[in-house]
Amino acid sequence: MTDTLIRGGTLVTADGRRRADLLCREGLIAAVGTELAHSSDAEVIDAGDCFVLPGGIDPHTHLQLPMMGTVVADDFYSGTTAAASGGTTTILDFVGPVRGQSPLEALATWRSWADKAVIDYGFHMTVAWWGPRFSEEMASLVRDHGITSFKFFLAYKGGLMLPDEDLIAGFLRCRELGALPQVHAENGELIAYLQAKMLAEGVTSPLGHVLSRPPQCEGEATGRAIAMAEIVDVPLYVVHVSAAPAARAIADARSRGVKVIGETLPGFLAIDDSVYRNADFDFAAGHVMSPPYRPREHQAVLWQAVQDGTLSTTGTDHCCFTRAQKRLGQRDFTRIPNGCGGIEDRLHVLWHLGVNSGRISPERFVALTSTNAARNFNLWPRKGCLEVGADADVIVLDPARTKTLSAATQRQNTDFSVWEGMQVKGVVVHTFSRGAHVWADGELRAEAGRGRYLPRQPFGDPYQARV
């Protein structure tokens, strides 16, 4: 692999910025500075008017996932090419065993599916059921396979939802193994009650989806999960925080010294629940995900939480379906496959809405899109930083360039975009993944299968200090 010299850009990390050149050699960042020696055949990128940032880490994706009678539209090839074109160089996806299935066996399936990824990837494990066998296999997942985060569901009654007794046992097991529990925090009992009530009242449209998942359900479950983690004394990672009561529960806990990490998604900062009132089924159903988009007033609370560090990572929960797939729920909103796309757009949307508006600095943008996820999931300093010796996962972002987001031009394998027609300013023009120039100003150069699996270490005391 030839050297790459990224010359003259403004390097931004979570800690600060400086003007410097950056040299990639053999997949790693080899030097940062000026007048860097490089081979005569080096590829030179002029980044004079651009920002040079660590590649994005999306800690929450679902590629190729079978769910709700179908399979999500993006597999590990299309999904990771879309990610690379938007400046994301690492994803953490979720392995989803079916009820009763060995999580080790499910991991083997996901590993084989992910063989075609074009960027690096790791896995969280969904705790899809609970019992002695699951608990036993967790030890091997952590020690032999580098799976060090486990997601528990407080929602989806009759499916993934676990009772409190099992959540407590699972959190204890995570603590024992040095793993990080994650939660999907919505109250599944209340949602089941409200779904039945909506259907009984004849509400079958996508509007029923948001009416059956009010913000209180998320607030209550977030508070309950935090209480369990606090008493068990294990850190907790709350995925896709969408609602003000959930953000407040996290802020309260953190102010008391409880180790809770909050993740949000760009969509929750900008899209409101009016989308579910749209008469066009495809449009409304295209926005069906859990938790749902919230009334507009929640957005100010979430932005505040992003600014003050209550919410410190951003993912996408990328789980995209086509219009045709969403029509599985045309007569019953509870059958609409849950999920939206976004793996391609996260950095562009967050830069546009966050940095351009002055809500967050470029440094905070790096923390939110890359560095904090690397730290929380034990990928740092290999990922999420621009230090010599780190993987050369580097992006060049042109702050003056504009782009219109649209299903017609996206690389995500679907015919719908929640960002349809949005013009963003600030565009990723180059993406390097371990030094390989996978996205070159509109041209995708990545080969299927070049991405590598990222096993992760369990956490010890230094981790506890970082949360």
- Note the residues at the interface with Zn ion (CB under 5 A): 317
* In the complex, least distance from residue 317 CB atom to Zn ion, rounded to whole angstroms: 4
* In the complex, least distance from residue 160 CB atom to Zn ion, rounded to whole angstroms: 11
Whether residue 285 contacts residue 326, with contact meaning beta carbons closer than 8 Å, is answered with yes
* In the complex, least distance from residue 267 CB atom to Zn ion, rounded to whole angstroms: 12
* In the complex, least distance from residue 349 CB atom to Zn ion, rounded to whole angstroms: 18
Rounded distance between C-alpha atoms, residue 440 and residue 86, angstroms: 11
Cis, bond preceding 291 (omega within 30 deg of 0)? yes
* In the complex, least distance from residue 241 CB atom to Zn ion, rounded to whole angstroms: 12
* In the complex, least distance from residue 221 CB atom to Zn ion, rounded to whole angstroms: 15
* In the complex, least distance from residue 25 CB atom to Zn ion, rounded to whole angstroms: 37
Smaller CB separation from Zn ion, 317 or 393: 317
Smaller CB separation from Zn ion, 145 or 318: 318
Q: Cα–Cα distances in Å, from 456 out to 179, 256, 427, 453, 466?
A: 10, 29, 31, 10, 16
Smaller CB separation from Zn ion, 124 or 403: 124
* In the complex, least distance from residue 208 CB atom to Zn ion, rounded to whole angstroms: 21
Q: Specify the DSSP class assigned to residue 224.
A: H
**Which single residue brings its beta carbon nearest to Zn ion?**
317
Rounded distance between C-alpha atoms, residue 286 and residue 326, angstroms: 7
Smaller CB separation from Zn ion, 63 or 269: 63
Smaller CB separation from Zn ion, 210 or 320: 320
Rounded distance between C-alpha atoms, residue 211 and residue 222, angstroms: 19
Amino acid code (one letter) for 360: I
**Backbone phi and psi for residue 90, each to the nearest 5 degrees, phi listed first:** -145, 140
Smaller CB separation from Zn ion, 55 or 96: 96
* In the complex, least distance from residue 33 CB atom to Zn ion, rounded to whole angstroms: 41
| Residues 6 or more apart whose Cβ sits within 8 Å of residue 379 | 57, 90, 122, 373, 454, 456
Sheet holding 149-153, edge to edge: 56-61, 88-95, 120-126, 149-153, 180-184, 236-238, 260-264, 311-314
Rounded distance between C-alpha atoms, residue 233 and residue 406, angstroms: 45
Question: What stretches of 146-256 show up as alpha helix (H) in DSSP?
Answer: 164-177, 188-200, 207-211, 215-232, 244-255
Q: Specify the DSSP class assigned to residue 335.
A: G
Smaller CB separation from Zn ion, 317 or 344: 317
- DSSP of 172-199, one letter per residue? HHHHHHT-EEEEE---HHHHHHHHHHHH
Amino acid code (one letter) for 86: G
Smaller CB separation from Zn ion, 317 or 398: 317
Smaller CB separation from Zn ion, 317 or 345: 317
Whether residue 269 contacts residue 353, with contact meaning beta carbons closer than 8 Å, is answered with yes
Rounded distance between C-alpha atoms, residue 265 and residue 316, angstroms: 5
* In the complex, least distance from residue 151 CB atom to Zn ion, rounded to whole angstroms: 8
Rounded distance between C-alpha atoms, residue 321 and residue 61, angstroms: 13
Whether residue 13 contacts residue 393, with contact meaning beta carbons closer than 8 Å, is answered with no
Smaller CB separation from Zn ion, 298 or 318: 318
* In the complex, least distance from residue 338 CB atom to Zn ion, rounded to whole angstroms: 9
Smaller CB separation from Zn ion, 13 or 325: 325
Sheet holding 28-33, edge to edge: 28-33, 21-25, 4-7, 43-46
- DSSP of 253-267, one letter per residue? HHHTT--EEEEE-GG
* In the complex, least distance from residue 161 CB atom to Zn ion, rounded to whole angstroms: 14
Smaller CB separation from Zn ion, 235 or 342: 342
